[in-house]
Amino acid sequence: MHLPDLDIAKKRDKKENNYIELKENYKPVLKGKKYFLRTYGCQMNVHDSEALRNYLEALGLENTDLVSNADVIVLNTCAIRENAKDKVTGFLGKCHYLKKKNPNLKIVFAGCMSEQPNVINEIKSKHSYIDIVIGTHNLYDLPKLLLENFNKQTIEVYSESDEVIEGMHYNRDSQYTAWVNIMYGCDKFCTYCIVPYTRGKERSRKLEKIVEEVKRLKENGYKEVTLLGQNVNAYGHDIGETFSHLLECVAKTNIERIRFVTSHPWNFTDEMINIIAKYKNIMPYIHLPIQSGSNEILKRMNRRYTREEYFELFTKMKEKIPNVSITTDIIVGFPNESEEDFQDTLDMVKKCQFDGAYTFIYSPREGTPAAKMTDNTKMAVKEERLHRLNELVNYYSNQSNQKLLGKVVEVLILGNSEKDNSKVYGYTDTMKLVNVSGPKEIIGQIVPVLITDAKSFSLDGDYLKEKVKN
Ligand code: SF4
SS (H, E, C) 321-378: CCCCEEEEEEEECCCCCCHHHHHHHHHHHHHHCCCEEEEEECCCCCCCHHHHCCCCCC
For residue 39 and ligand 1, the question of a CB distance below 6 A is answered with: no
Phi, psi of 401 (to 5 degrees): -70, -40
Look at residues 118, 99, 114 and name the one whose alpha carbon lies nearest to residue 41. Answer: 114
Phi, psi of 419 (to 5 degrees): -75, -35
For residue 232 and ligand 1, the question of a CB distance below 6 A is answered with: no
pLDDT per position as a tens digit, 195-210:
898 888 899 999 999 9
For residue 195 and ligand 1, the question of a CB distance below 6 A is answered with: yes
For residue 190 and ligand 1, the question of a CB distance below 6 A is answered with: yes
Q: How far, in Å, CA of 81 to CA of 92, rounded?
A: 17
State in Å: Cα 110 to ligand 1 middle: 20
Phi, psi of 202 (to 5 degrees): -70, 125
* Whole-number average pLDDT of the chain: 93
Residue 50: is it exposed, middle or buried by C-beta count within 10 angstroms (0-12/13-18/19+)?
A: buried
Q: Judge contact between 428 and 411, C-beta under 8 A.
A: yes
Protein residue whose Cα sits closest to atom 1 of ligand 1:
188
State in Å: Cα 167 to ligand 1 middle: 26
CA distances (Å), origin 215, targets 221, 289, 390 = 10, 30, 40
For residue 360 and ligand 1, the question of a CB distance below 6 A is answered with: no
Mean pLDDT of 33-46: 94
Q: How far, in Å, CA of 151 to CA of 132, rounded?
A: 10
Q: Judge contact between 366 and 118, C-beta under 8 A.
A: yes
Q: Ligand 1, closest atom to CA 194? A: 8
State in Å: Cα 215 to ligand 1 middle: 29
pLDDT per position as a tens digit, 302-319:
999 999 999 999 999 999
Q: How confident is the model at residue 15 (pLDDT cuts 50, 70, 90)?
A: confident
Question: Ligand 1 pocket: which of 183, 231, 300 to mutate (most atoms <8 Å of CB)?
Answer: 231
For residue 449 and ligand 1, the question of a CB distance below 6 A is answered with: no
For residue 377 and ligand 1, the question of a CB distance below 6 A is answered with: no
Q: Is the dihedral of CA 432, 223, 173, 86 positive or negative?
A: negative
Q: Judge contact between 333 and 386, C-beta under 8 A.
A: yes
Q: Judge contact between 353 and 399, C-beta under 8 A.
A: yes
Query: Could you tell me whether strands 446-454 and 257-261 are parallel, antiparallel, or unpaired per DSSP bridges?
Result: unpaired
Residue 467 has pLDDT above 70, yes or no: no
Q: Is the peptide bond before 359 cis (omega within 30 degrees of 0)?
A: no
Mean pLDDT of 347-365: 96
Count of H helices and E strands in the chain? 13, 21
Q: What's the pLDDT score for residue 272? A: 98
For residue 99 and ligand 1, the question of a CB distance below 6 A is answered with: no
Q: How confident is the model at residue 182 (pLDDT cuts 50, 70, 90)?
A: very high
Q: How far, in Å, CA of 378 to CA of 412, rounded?
A: 44
For residue 9 and ligand 1, the question of a CB distance below 6 A is answered with: no
Look at residues 408, 399, 412, 425 and name the one whose alpha carbon lies nearest to residue 259. Answer: 412
Residue 14 has pLDDT above 90, yes or no: no
Domains and CATH numbers, the chain: 6-163 (3.40.50.12160), 167-402 (3.80.30.20), 408-463 (2.40.50)
State in Å: Cα 303 to ligand 1 middle: 9
Q: What's the pLDDT score for residue 170? A: 93
